[in-house]
Amino acid sequence: MAVTLRSSAADFEQRFAAFLSTKREDSPEVDLVVRQIIADVRARGDAALKELTLKFDRADLNRIGIAVGPDDIAAAYRQADPETIDALKLARDRIFSHHQRQMPKDDRYTDAIGVELGSRWTAVESVGLYVPGGLASYPSSVLMNAVPAKVAGVGRIVMVVPPTGGEINPLVLVAADIAGVTEIYRVGGAQAVGALAYGTDTISPVVKIVGPGNAFVAVAKRQVFGKVGIDSIAGPSEVLVVADRDNDPQWLAADLLAQAEHGMGAQSILITDDEGLAADVEQAVAAQLKTLPRPQNAAESWRDFGAVIIVGSLDEAPALVDRIAAEHVELAVADPEAFLKKIRNAGAVFLGRHTPEVIGDYVGGSNHVLPTARSARFSSGLSVLDFVKRTSVLKLGPEQLRQLAPAAITLAKAEGLDAHGRSVSIRLNM
Amino acid sequence: MAVTLRSSAADFEQRFAAFLSTKREDSPEVDLVVRQIIADVRARGDAALKELTLKFDRADLNRIGIAVGPDDIAAAYRQADPETIDALKLARDRIFSHHQRQMPKDDRYTDAIGVELGSRWTAVESVGLYVPGGLASYPSSVLMNAVPAKVAGVGRIVMVVPPTGGEINPLVLVAADIAGVTEIYRVGGAQAVGALAYGTDTISPVVKIVGPGNAFVAVAKRQVFGKVGIDSIAGPSEVLVVADRDNDPQWLAADLLAQAEHGMGAQSILITDDEGLAADVEQAVAAQLKTLPRPQNAAESWRDFGAVIIVGSLDEAPALVDRIAAEHVELAVADPEAFLKKIRNAGAVFLGRHTPEVIGDYVGGSNHVLPTARSARFSSGLSVLDFVKRTSVLKLGPEQLRQLAPAAITLAKAEGLDAHGRSVSIRLNM
């Protein structure tokens, strides 16, 4: 049973603040182990990868190889259901189209005194994409990470995935092929991150590493950050549904459970101004849980982290939405566009009663890698911008230098940087 | 004396690779101390700030106050040289104009099947700006960090600066006022970062923390990351000058020394195809060092980290430039635009013989907070983008949902996420 908070209660602010600061994931102390694994990969390269993969994934890379080859891809296509392959291609096309619009444009202009300024965007040279093994080995996540890199123009897109018991989900290989991944290796965990950052005989190093992973992978990414770029560290998933009374409680319950079934700290929240709807949704959640083939994750997440927040009026909701700053926000209200204008902190917003968040997970076209754990207050979902970087450009002629020199020299002097001043004055015989 | 590398040497690749991996800064083990300081600030708030400031900065905040008030700002203006104030205003105006062009535009469109998609940008609500004390307390850095936040539309811009011996550089206060900083507090070190992240009675918490600092500040920022956003961690500064023979060696020497005088691991590199120019520049560096009032930093940086790379032809240079991926690249060559097209990894590029990097430090208009330590391979300089975040928007009607539902349900099923599938199918009576 999820917690219920009423904004009319005297202790609401206190309870809401406590709810916001609920910790939803463990941070096991794996720093030292990860450091040793990465050091081992740096020192022994492929040999370390083989040994660690035998130990952690029970797979013999001497037999099946580190690199996934064209034959493996072809075999994966044969194992995959044709309808699923088509769905992946539809998703790829929609993600590609949407992300093409995110490509930033170069800017170059001359200002009033003749100084030329500019911003120039270029793709990072290479990207490593981590894909988890086992149950969380999602082909949709392969698309969501690889397609924006492809759109950005990244030349090398290198995927690593642990061969759990020797096996890789064939749909992950198919998705990688469909997305344009250029190299695939059978390696996971901190050892994969170490290999991507520092390279081995088989795996050339990359410039940036993205993609979700377990605690070992997350810590490894933090440790190699600086040597390479990383994306943000993904936390447990969240959905916040804002609903007026004119909703089918079954629909809302289904949306809350879709998020909850991710388990591992996933959180589903309903905000409504209608006590009756709130009760109906809670009943519908309970009823639908009974019909799920694998209800355990969803039941535990709803019980431990689920919340129903009842407000006196939906006018109170935008402030709460911004404080929650959820990864996904569904606006199941009469005028979602008007509501959207009143909020600022959300990873992705799904407008209206016919836009379940799940569409965004797969085929909406927008990215499903989004800021979690309230980080939508300061960060954004994955986009083409994560695979490009900007170089600023400045160009002065003698006349512009003469005009700007006095101020530059004054400031250099004020900061006690004599050589800075001279670098300007020496060009002017000042 | 800087190191000299010749691309014609048999061991060049080996020496260049070693040069690239030279470590230029110490990473003292302050993790535990910082963790304790932050915990203390969380537990005791203002009382901890006062005690720690007395201890580390020898300043009594009970006497001078935590908050800087209007009287303090007015006094700072009186202490400042009018010419310097004017130079700061010119810099502010030029930075503001340039950064206005970086403001990303919202995008909203309807695709071929009627799905509405969009990206919406909003400012982060509040930003904390760390400004170091002592010698590295640069008013220009205040402008470079605060003005983009102002352009982005950040409401609260909160500056913290340690009151070393009770004093704050008046030009830092003037720059803060000119840049539009809204609150200023006399606190520095890890305790300032802790206060910005978690808040105290006097200092309300912020959503993101930016700005350079010493090892304690850098470690504190890493520790609070997640609770708040942070910018990238700045390393020692670098300049890479690419020069053909038609240069005045004195100008180039001045540019190399301007970077070197930052000390603390700063690096200056010259790439040229002309042995004679290389020798002349080295002589000019030695000569100019003798005339600097405070030569020590520059002399040490040039000796320890400086490099002159002599190539057979400037055609070899772009590949080396991209591997060095320097913070600042000066192109002192006949056709800098053509050269620019051949490189991709640089924080900022300064085109032609009349664009010394120092102009970019102060009054060029572009930002001087740039990626260091080869991170220009995967990251960008500070910009308006660091103070906004993107929310993706998706909107389907019943017809669009019907069209996309089969693929979404297929993928949900393939990923074993039953509740995901139901969230879509329940809306269609499927």
Say if A3-25+235-364 and A31-106+123-230 have the same CATH topology.
yes
Chain B residues close to A420, C-beta within 8 Å: 258, 261, 358, 361
pLDDT greater than 90 at residue B233: no
Contact at CB, A358 and B423, closer than 8 angstroms: yes
Q: Is the pLDDT of residue B135 over 80?
A: no
Which of B229, B347, B392 is facing A391, going by the closest CB pair? B347
CB contact under 8 A, B352 and A397: yes
Residue A24: CB atoms within 10 A of its CB come to 17
Element containing residue A330 per DSSP (H, E): strand A328-332
CB contact (8 A) between residue B350 and residue A395:
yes
Three-class DSSP category at A116: strand
Which one of B183, B238, B327, B330 is the catalytic residue? B327
Cβ-Cβ contacts under 8 Å, A370 against chain B: 392
- Spatial distance between the Cα atoms of A341 and A356, rounded to a whole number of angstroms: 20
User: For residues B121 and B118, what is the distance between their CA atoms, to the nearest angstrom?
Assistant: 10
Residue contact B109–A88, C-beta within 8 A = no
Pick from A97, A397, A418: CB nearest B354: A397
CB contacts, 8 Å: B355 with chain A: 394-396, 401
Got the DSSP string for A333-382? SS-HHHHHHT----SEEEESTT--HHHHHHTSSS-S----TTGGGT----
Residues of A noted as catalytic:
327-328
Domain positions in chain A are 3-25+235-364, 31-106+123-230, 396-425
Inter-chain CB proximity A414 and B84 less than 8 Å: yes
Residue numbers in A near B357 (CB within 8 A): 423
- Tens of pLDDT, residue by residue over A16-46, are 999 998 888 877 789 899 999 999 999 999 9
Residues of A in contact with B397 (CB under 8 A): 352, 354
Is A191 annotated in a binding site? The answer is: yes
A415 labeled binding residue:
yes
Query: What confidence score (pLDDT) does residue A137 get?
Result: 87
Under a CB-based contact definition with an 8 Å cutoff, are residues A355 and B401 in contact? yes
* B237 annotated to bind ligand: yes
Q: Is the pLDDT of residue B356 over 70?
A: yes
- Contact residues on chain A for B385, CB-CB shorter than 8 A: 385
Write the ipTM.
Answer: 0.96
Chain B residue numbers touching A125 (CB-CB < 8 A): 344-345, 377
Q: Please give the pLDDT value at position A430.
A: 52
Any idea how long chain B is? Answer: 430
Percentage of chain B beyond pLDDT 90 is 93
- Is B375 in contact with A124 (Cβ distance < 8 A)? no
- The C-alpha of A312 sits at a distance from chain B's nearest C-alpha, in angstroms, of 26
Domain B3-23+235-364 matching CATH 3.40.50.1980: the answer reads yes
Average pLDDT for residues B291-303, to the nearest whole number? Answer: 96
State which residue of chain A sits closest to B428, comparing Cα positions.
A354
The token duo for B178 is 């000119």
Name the least confident of A208-217, B224-233, B365-374, B375-384.
B224-233
Most A CBs within 10 Å, among B255, B410, B429, to test the A interface: B410
Per the annotation, does B361 bind a ligand? yes
Instruction: Note whether B356 contacts A410, CB cutoff 8 Å.
Output: no
Q: How confident is the model at residue B404 (pLDDT cuts 50, 70, 90)?
A: very high
- A198 assigned binding-site residue: no
Identify the active-site residue in B99, B183, B261, B328: B328
Q: What is the pLDDT of residue B395?
A: 98
Q: How many CB pairs under 8 A join A and B?
A: 352
Q: Which fold has domain A3-25+235-364?
A: Rossmann fold (3.40.50)
CB contact under 8 A, A418 and B102: no
CB–CB contact B87 A411 (8 Å) = yes
Fold classified for A31-106+123-230: Rossmann fold (3.40.50)
Q: Which of B86, B344, B389 sits opposite A380 (nearest CB)?
A: B389
Residues B50-104 have pLDDT tens digits of: 999 999 999 999 999 999 999 999 999 999 999 999 999 999 999 999 999 999 9
- Sort out which chain A residues have CB atoms less than 8 A from B401's CB and list them: 354-356, 359
Which of B288, B400, B419 lies closest to A261 in CB terms? Answer: B419
Nearest by CB to B419, which of A228, A254, A383? A254
Q: Say which of B107, B362, B423 has its CB closest to residue A411.
A: B362
Per-residue pLDDT band for B23 (boundaries 50, 70, 90) equals confident
Q: CA of B406: which chain A residue's CA is closest?
A: A87
Does pLDDT of B14 surpass 80? yes
Instruction: Judge: B394–A84 Cβ closer than 8 Å, yes or no.
Output: no
A chain contacts of residue B424, beta-carbon cutoff 8 Å: 356, 358-359
The 3-state DSSP composition of chain A as helix, strand, coil percent (nearest 5) reads 50, 15, 35
pLDDT of residue B430: 52
Known binder of ligand: residue A420?
yes
B191 annotated as a binding-site residue: yes
Domain range B396-425, CATH architecture: Up-down Bundle (1.20)
Residue B204 assigned to a binding site: no
Rounded to the nearest angstrom, the minimum Cα separation between A419 and chain B is 5
User: B31-230 sits in which CATH class?
Assistant: alpha beta
3-state secondary structure of A22: coil
Q: Which residues of chain A have pLDDT under 50?
A: none
What is the distance in angstroms between the Cα of A110 and the nearest Cα belonging to chain B? 11
Interface test with B, best of A140, A415, A429, A430 (most B CBs within 10 A): A415
Q: What is the 3-state secondary structure (H, E, C) of chain B?
A: CCEEEECCCCCHHHHHHHHHCCCCCCCCCCHHHHHHHHHHHHHHCHHHHHHHHHHHHCCCHHHHCCECCHHHHHHHHHHCCHHHHHHHHHHHHHHHHHHHCCCCCCEEEECCCCCEEEEEEEECCEEEEECCCHHHCCHHHHHHHHHHHHHHCCCEEEEECCCECCECCHHHHHHHHHHCCCEEECCCHHHHHHHHHHCCCCCCCCCEEECCCCHHHHHHHHHHECCEEECCCCCCCEEEEEECCCCCHHHHHHHHHHHHCCCCCCEEEEEECCHHHHHHHHHHHHHHHHHCCCCHHHHHHHHHHCEEEECCCHHHHHHHHHHHCCCEEEEECCCHHHHHHCCCCCCEEEECCCCCHHHHHHCCCCCCCCCCCCHHHCCCCCCHHHHEEEEEEEECCHHHHHHHHHHHHHHHHHCCCHHHHHHHHCCCCC
Q: Which of A140, A357, A417 sits opposite B415 (nearest CB)?
A: A140
